[in-house]
Amino acid sequence: MIDSIKEKTHNYKISVIVPIYKVEDYLERCVDSIINQSYKNLEIILVDDGSPDNCSEICDRYAKLDSRIKVIHQKNGGLSCARNSGLRIATGDFISLVDSDDYINSNMYADLIEQIIVHKADIAMCDCEYVYEKDTLVKVNEKPDSLEVSVLDGKKAQYMAFRDDISRIVFNVAWNKLYRKELFQNISYPEGRIHEDEARTHQLMYNASKIVYLKYPYYYYFQRKDSIVGMRISKKNLQLLEAYADKLKFYREKKENKLWKMEVSHSMHMVCYQQKLFDDEKMSIDIIREAQGKILLKEIKRYESISDLSIALKFEIILFVLFPKMYYKVWKMRKG
């Protein structure tokens, strides 16, 4: 039975999309981890997003070595633009998105797609492991002694993201998942913005009838100081607020009132958290007056269309909307 399932999985092609920009020191490690997968039916799309270093030459060299590799060279448009370019030419049955400074376990696709077939799921996802400059590749071929698998529907997966900070990463990022291609039929990543994962992953997961979650870190999430995540606070970080606005609008339109209420609480607190980071850096930025803050505020003001708001949450929202500076002071007091 198991052998027949494994044989059947190889009938499916996986399109692996890798956006590439200024990662010449890490690109070979990433691509090697993909081409050395135990699952071989891959289409590997390397999107050179106008990288000014040697990434373009590295991509072309790999394309000559492996017929499964396709290379797109384009003007720099950002991570979302690169992902969308890859999605447009992908011919696989499933889609995977891998960031070019990260790398993956050699058994990742074999195990993910096997669980998709077994459970007739639309998405398979896994845990990630943070890795640093000093870390080696010794774990890349390891397999779990026993695999814990959870089966969720798309709505339940939304709630899982609110459990804790780790869950929020695992359930919101794009790169630790394998998606049926059909899920992207009417969804693309917002170009010209960062934090694009937070803006779209919830939609992809919500539209999935079934999701399998493999509780093993097949994905190695590299931490470097010059990455988007590793950089110090800047006005670019405000783009996260647009992602929150996208989620609130989505939940409101789907009439998922409970999810909207959970997300609005998180969003308001994150505004305060970002404001504190700016204040600590002595940056004279009032988030609510910035364009992204106004976008989020406009969506939060739609709270009257949400049913069953508790008195406490309604009061909190009104305080945030009408007196954001006072709300921020109260937040700081509560955080000690």
Q: How confident is the model at residue 335 (pLDDT cuts 50, 70, 90)?
A: confident
**Confidence band (pLDDT; 50, 70, 90) for 232?**
low
Report domain extents, the chain. 2-222, 235-335
pLDDT band at residue 9 under the 50/70/90 scheme: low
298-to-245, 302, 303 alpha-carbon distances in Å: 8, 7, 10
Using only the alpha carbons of the chain, give its radius of gyration: 21
Contacts of 55 (CB under 8 A, 6+ apart): 20, 21, 22, 23, 24, 27, 48, 100
The pLDDT of residue 1 is above 80? no
Closest CA to 271 of 202, 223, 230, 317: 317
Confidence of residue 2 (pLDDT cuts 50, 70, 90): low
* Per-residue confidence (pLDDT) for residue 292, from 0 to 100: 94
- pLDDT for res 137: 75
Distances (CA, A) of 74 to 78, 90, 231, 246, 326: 10, 16, 25, 28, 47
pLDDT at res. 5:
57
Question: Could you tell me which residue, 137 or 109, shows the higher pLDDT?
Answer: 109
Q: Which two tokens stand for residue 310?
A: 């508790």
Q: With CA atoms as reference, report the closest residue to 177 among 148, 192, 157.
A: 157
> Residue 81 pLDDT > 90, yes or no?
yes
Residue 199: the pLDDT is 86
Taking only the tens place, the pLDDT of each residue in 294-325 is 999 999 999 999 999 999 999 999 999 999 99
- So what's the pLDDT on residue 230? 46
**Two tokens, residue 336:** 């000690």
Mean local confidence (pLDDT), 223-235: 65
Q: Return d(Cα 169, Cα 154) in angstroms, integer.
A: 16
* Region 48-59 average pLDDT: 97
pLDDT in tens, 255-265: 999 999 999 99
Q: Residue 221 in 3-state DSSP?
A: strand
Would you say residue 229 has pLDDT above 60?
no
Hey, what CATH class is 2-222 in? alpha beta
Least confident of 116-130, 131-145, 153-167: 131-145
CB atoms within 10 A of CB 68: 17
Find all residues with CB under 8 Å of 151, minimum gap 6, and list them. Answer: 119, 121, 210, 211, 212, 213
pLDDT at residue 289 above 80? yes
Q: Mean pLDDT, to the nearest integer, of 31-42?
A: 97
User: Over 80: is that where the pLDDT of 3 sits?
Assistant: no
Residue 4 reports pLDDT greater than 60: no
Rounded to whole angstroms, how far apart are CA atoms 209 and 17? 24
Q: What is the DSSP letter of 232?
A: P
Higher pLDDT, 225 or 239: 239
Q: pLDDT category, 80, cuts 50, 70, 90? A: very high
Average pLDDT, the chain: 92
Residues 52, 22: contact at Cβ < 8 Å?
Answer: yes
